[in-house]
Structure 1
């Protein structure tokens, strides 16, 4: 009986390890200090409140629904106006889609534009991983790089979650 539990436990540990590998859990984020060359436009809605609330989840689902239905072409993204690590208590975030420009598409009802301006010094982090593990890897990479290079973060972050390709975060440096 104990042998069966041991074999099942080992199998479960291996299965979890393999799954973690396939979602990119063992990868590290690539982080570079750079200056944004062009503005990045987002279409979406602003949210301020608990990051784990139903209202925040509704805005995220709405952005995915708008993109999936074809009402707006873009890549899912957010602009955090505070540290995302503390956003579960008090998030200040613009939730929506990164779009190519502000004139080629009509905005859905309730959506507005926001711009992540060009010419900002940022730590740009990228990783080929699932959205399930990518944010933790990206933010830890950004914070480690900032600490190693004695850079102060401004608590302004842009997240980009494409369907394919690397997940990215731009963290503005003071």
Structure 2
């Protein structure tokens, strides 16, 4: 009986390790100090409250539905106005879709534009990983790079979650 339990435990550990590897869990984020060349337009809705709340989840699902239905073409993205790692109780975030411009598409009801301006110094963090593990890796990379380069983060973050390709975060620095 103990032998069977040991074998099943080992198989479970290997399966979890393989799944974590496939999701990109063993990769590290690449982080570069850059200046944004162009503004980034986000169409969406503002949310303030617990990030674990149902209302925040509803906004995320709404943005996903709008994108998949073709009502608005874009890439899922957020602008956080406070540190996402510490905002579980009081997130300040604009949830929506990153769009190419503000004139070629009609906004869905209740949606507004926000801009992540050009000309900002940012730490640009990228990783080829699933959205399930990417945020933790991206923010860890940003914070360790900021500390290593003695940079001060302004706690404004743009997240981009494309359907294919790398997941990205731009963190504004002073």
TM-score bracket for this pair, using the shorter chain length? over 0.9
Q: Map of 1:93-112 to 2, 5 A cutoff?
A: 93-112=93-112
Write out the 4+ residue segments of structure 1 that deviate beyond 2 Å after TM superposition. Answer: none
Which residue of the partner structure matches residue 72 of structure 1? 72
Which residue of the partner structure matches residue 63 of structure 1? 63
Which residue of the partner structure matches residue 167 of structure 1? 167
The TM-score with structure 1 as length reference comes to 1.00
Q: Which runs of 5+ in 2 are unaligned?
A: none
Are 1:154 and 2:148 counterparts?
A: no
Q: Deviations for 1:62-84, whole angstroms, at most 9, x for unmatched residues?
A: 00000000000000000000000
Q: Which runs of 5+ in 1 are unaligned?
A: none
Alignment length, in residue pairs? 174
CA distance in structure 2 between the partners assigned to 1:91 and 1:145 by the alignment = 23
Which residue of the partner structure matches residue 18 of structure 1? 18
Which residue of the partner structure matches residue 119 of structure 1? 119
Q: Deviations for 1:46-105, whole angstroms, at most 9, x for unmatched residues?
A: 000111000000000000000000000000000000000112110000000000000000
The TM-score with structure 2 as length reference comes to 1.00
CA distance in structure 2 between the partners assigned to 1:50 and 1:2 by the alignment = 45
CA distance in structure 1 between the partners assigned to 2:18 and 2:83 by the alignment = 31
Q: Deviations for 1:124-162, whole angstroms, at most 9, x for unmatched residues?
A: 000000000000000000000000000000000000000
CA distance in structure 1 between the partners assigned to 2:67 and 2:134 by the alignment = 21
CA distance in structure 1 between the partners assigned to 2:36 and 2:129 by the alignment = 23
CA distance in structure 1 between the partners assigned to 2:37 and 2:101 by the alignment = 15
CA distance in structure 2 between the partners assigned to 1:49 and 1:15 by the alignment = 36
Deviation of the 1:3 alpha carbon: 0.1
